[in-house]
Amino acid sequence: MAFTKRAAGTGTYKWPAKIKTPIDGGHYQVEEMLLEFKRQEAGKASTYKTDAEFLRAAIVGWEDYADENGKPIPFALKELDELLKDEFFVIGASQAFTESLMGAREKN
């Protein structure tokens, strides 16, 4: 397939994220959600001071995120700001973004 020309930093794509939260006994609870990332211009990520600051600019939507009763939580910046206070979410979302760039989920 030919590479299609597009303006740098435009468009979005969805990528799975695994959020690993430590639990008793030296184990993790692993939860998954689908994050929608805004495509970034090359080198732009390094202009942010923290991963959370970068993710606030990069995440523009999600799926499979629900409250304790299973009710889906729609994307909103206020809700994203709350999620970005959770270090385990930040780690999982950062890893998902990195995987999307590096092709870690590609099947050979």
What global pTM score does this model have? 0.85
Task: Output 10 or 13, whichever has higher pLDDT.
Answer: 13
> Exposed e or buried b for every residue in 54-93, given b needs 16+ CB within 10 A?
bbeebbeebeebeeeeeeeeeeeeeebeebbeeeebbbbb
What mean pLDDT do residues 57-83 have?
97
Is the pLDDT at 63 greater than 80? The verdict is yes
The pLDDT, as a whole number, for residue 43 is 78
107 pLDDT tier (thresholds 50, 70, 90):
low
- What's the mean per-residue pLDDT of the chain? 90
Q: Distance between CA atoms of 55 and 84, rounded to whole angstroms?
A: 8
What mean pLDDT do residues 15-33 have?
97
The pLDDT, as a whole number, for residue 106 is 53
Give every CB contact of residue 51 below 8 A, 6+ residues apart in sequence: 90, 94
